[in-house]
Amino acid sequence: MSFLTRGSQIKIQPWSEFVELDRFGFPDSKDMLNRVNTNLEFYTGNYLVIVAVVLLLTLFSNTALLLTVLIFGGIAYFLFFIRSNTIDLGGFVLNLVSQAAILSVISVYFIYRYSGLTLFYTTLLSLVVVLVHAFLRKRSIKSKVNNLVNEADDILKNN
């Protein structure tokens, strides 16, 4: 899962290659894990786009959820960028980490309150689409080479 730490190297692969129908098929049981790992790493950018689009569609189709996210996004922007210091509440000092923790808990409550299970199902749908593609998409030579280069890079960094 080293692809999660390669933020600057994430690329969106060509969509024509991503959905090339003749490159789909069930893997052998011994090749399954390699295929999923290679595809997750190679198509990370495409998967992120899919997740973002699904989440944005959900957000824009649920007005209460959209307003909740905008309100808490505004509060977070104010707390961490406009007024990025501690808050004193009657002798109790809240540093930035405490503020973030409190805001996160309150945000999760309200987002869940106003989205119900919609956000859960949206996340689940995104996860299923990504994992099904990663499972069924046959690895290309390009993705195999990319995987080998990344593994070698990880070995060199750890030594």
Convert the pLDDT of each residue in 31-75 to its tens digit: 899 899 999 999 999 999 999 999 999 999 989 889 999 999 999
Task: Count how many domains the chain has.
Answer: 1
Judge whether 69 lies within some domain.
yes
State the residue range of the domain holding 62: 29-152
- 53 exposed, middle or buried (CB, 10 Å; 0-12, 13-18, 19+)? exposed
Judge whether 65 lies within some domain.
yes
Judge whether 41 lies within some domain.
yes
Whole-angstrom distance, CA of residue 54 vs CA of residue 38? 23
pLDDT tens profile 78-98: 988 888 788 888 888 888 899
Judge whether 93 lies within some domain.
yes
Judge whether 24 lies within some domain.
no
Judge whether 57 lies within some domain.
yes
Judge whether 14 lies within some domain.
no
Judge whether 34 lies within some domain.
yes
pLDDT at 133 over 60: yes
> Which of these, 117, 118, 80, lies nearest to 99 by C-alpha position?
80
Q: What pTM did the predictor assign?
A: 0.73
